[in-house]
Amino acid sequence: MAAPKKGRSASSQSKPGRSLALILIAIVALTGGMFLSGHTTPRLGIDLAGGTSITLTAKNEPGQPNAINKTNMDIAVDIMNRRVNGLGVSEAEVQTQGSDNIIVNIPKGTNSKQARDQVGTTAKLYFRPVLALDPQGVAATASPTPSASTSGSPSPSASETGDKATSTSSGSPSPSASTTSQGRPVTDALKADATPTPSTTSSATATASASASASASATPDAATAALQAKYLALDCTKKAVRAVTGDGVKPTEPTVACGKDSKGQWTKFVLGPAEVSGTEVKKAQAVFDTQGVAGWQVNMDFTSKGSKQFADVTGRLAQNQEPQNEFGIVLDGEVVSNPYVSAAISGGSAQISGSFTQTEAQDLANMLSYGALPLTFHESSVSTVSPALGGEQLHAGLIAGAIGLALVVIYLVVYYRGLSTVAIASLLVSAALTYVIMALLGPAIGFALNLPAVCGAIVAIGITADSFIVFFERIRDEIREGRTLRPAVERAWPRARRTILVSDFVSFLAAAVLFIVTVGKVQGFAFTLGLTTLLDVVVVFFFTKPLMTILARKKFFAEGHRWSGLDPQRLGAQPPLRRTRRASAPVDMKEA
């Protein structure tokens, strides 16, 4: 038996079942993951499922000519994400388009007017004193809060205060965690706040507080009772309630609000009138304390006006016990942080320190920065797609895909006959992989199947069919040269493989470039085209080629049945090349 030529492996010929088993295991595993995740259908985009698409264009505030930049736009996107998700719409998409546009896509089932009001207005950030708080579902005990401090002051350890975060105000001792008034009635808290300490309150702040108290004293019992009732009825665990908590509340009025602590637990607050506006925050950034043990913290710089206001409110709050020595940083009606103080913070700079992770510190810094974000947004366009119209578009897209697939199948059956079974089986495997992966990508990365993405999947049918045709034609060329099917398959594969890889690389490169340079729905087309192109390579290598190797051993294909699509006579094959041996000359055995 002749040894195989050097450099040639017979593994791909002798064990094609391994490749088939591998891809089938992958399909089963992905399908199982799809059912376990509970997402058995691809997530649909707005143009198919229905919803509202809002385009917002940024404008510079007067005196801020260069405010439209990537940092400010990213902060705006983050805040708008918080707003639309606060409406209970976890599938909403907020993304930048170009340098000055933000696209907000909100799927069906949402009040479109409310959503437009939420994302179309500038965020409001205020510093309000905390009058009372109550961690929902927890007994009335002291709540660990982050601390506000003067810049550069040392921070005592958490063990000194019993709190998770500490006060670092010029080395002053922090209030004891055991002296808490968070369980006080709201009425008592309002009365205590209405009479600020004269020694620590500036005349400007005292005048503002006096006027606010005077306006509320016209009907003190009614106003207090209304706030008390609102506080008792507030359920911070419900998204719909949180979304409208601060609606219609003026900065000069006390209010109730919700906030979440580092453990993810909701707390409800009673807050006094706003003392400092977020527009007085000049700069906020997350930094790591390399000189001490504070870890990640947030540094704030105030304007001259904000510096005075902040010194006034922190000086007054420092005279109180917990939680009335805290101020709530309120963004869009939600308390994003409630640090406490133990002394007046002057100088125009402050730090909020605590057990922050880097992400938490950066998120808080972004929110503080947004209070002074020198941008406004106006609606450039609003398009609403009804679920009925989206369903019609999806139905039309599926019909177009079915027609395209049917035409490809008819062509394959007519032209390749028996070989068409290989192509159809490969198309089914490719379709199964595409469907399962799209269903999994919805919850994983937020991929939504929109109408352009459906078009990309339809185009991919032709790209996948091209790969089969290249391979089949290479095999038929080898048969025309007089070779039998098994060697023809193995000789055709290397040349077909190179052509398939080059073709798919060009398609994938085009999809990648299109995905990078475009935005919005066109990206769906590019993503689907790129995904299906990669799957085409996987299917051809791990399914089509091994299956063809197995079928080449079957009599129906190996002998070139007239319906196999590989009939040598129909293909015009040449007679097989045969070697002929020359007859050797007779040897005369006689002795000379």
Q: What is the pLDDT of residues 45-54, one digit of tens each?
A: 777 777 788 8
Q: Is 195 helix (H, G, I), strand (E, B) or coil?
A: coil
What gap in Å lies between CA 424 and CA 519, rounded to an integer?
Answer: 34
pLDDT in tens, 473-518: 999 999 888 888 889 999 999 999 999 999 999 999 999 998 888 7
Average pLDDT over residues 98-104: 83
The reported pLDDT for the residue numbered 86 is 55
Q: How far is CA 526 from CA 11, 17, 155, in A?
A: 37, 34, 52
Whole-number pLDDT of residue 117 = 64
Residue 400 has what pLDDT? 84
**Of residues 246 and 425, which shows the higher confidence score?**
425
How does residue 178 score in pLDDT terms, banded at 50, 70 and 90? very low
Q: Where does CATH 3.30.70.3400 sit in the chain?
A: 51-122
Q: Residue 54 in 3-state DSSP?
A: strand
pLDDT of 215 strictly over 70: no
- β-partners of residue 149 are 351
Higher pLDDT, 80 or 20: 20
| Length reported for the chain | 592
Q: For residues 260 and 267, is the Cβ–Cβ distance under 8 A?
A: yes
What's the mean pLDDT in 429-457? Answer: 86
Q: What is the pTM of this model?
A: 0.53
pLDDT for residue 111 is more than 90: no
Strands 327-331 vs 266-271: parallel, antiparallel or unpaired? unpaired
The average pLDDT across 188-198 equals 40
The 8-class DSSP code of residue 144 comes to P
Q: Compute the distance between CA of residue 447 and CA of residue 42 in angstroms, rounded to an integer.
A: 8
Is residue 40 exposed (0-12), middle (13-18) or buried (19+ Cβ within 10 Å)?
Answer: exposed
CATH 3.30.1360 residue spans of the chain? 126-137+246-372
- Judge contact between 573 and 566, C-beta under 8 A: no
Query: Which class is domain 51-122?
Result: alpha beta
Residue range 448-470: mean pLDDT, rounded: 85
pLDDT at 194 over 60: no
SS3 sequence, 553-581? CCHHHHCCCCCCCCCHHHHCCCCCCCCCC
The arithmetic mean of pLDDT across residues 437-459, rounded, is: 83
CATH architecture type of domain 126-137+246-372:
2-Layer Sandwich (3.30)
Q: Which amino acid is at 356?
A: F
Q: Where in the chain is the domain with CATH 1.20.1640.10?
A: 387-571
Q: What span, in angstroms and rounded, lies between the C-alpha atoms of 246 and 256?
A: 7
The more confidently predicted of residues 284 and 208 is 284
What is the average pLDDT score of the chain? 74
* Count of beta carbons in the 10 Å neighbourhood of residue 532: 28
Fold of 387-571: Multidrug efflux transporter AcrB transmembrane fold (1.20.1640)
Nearest-angstrom CA–CA distance, 40 and 44: 12
Model confidence pLDDT, tens digit, residues 527-573: 899 999 999 999 999 999 999 999 988 888 888 888 888 888 887 77
SS3 of residue 287 by DSSP: strand
More confident residue, 539 or 74: 539
pLDDT value, residue 359: 79
pLDDT digits 0-9 by tens, 225-272:
888 888 888 888 887 777 677 777 788 888 888 888 767 788 888 888
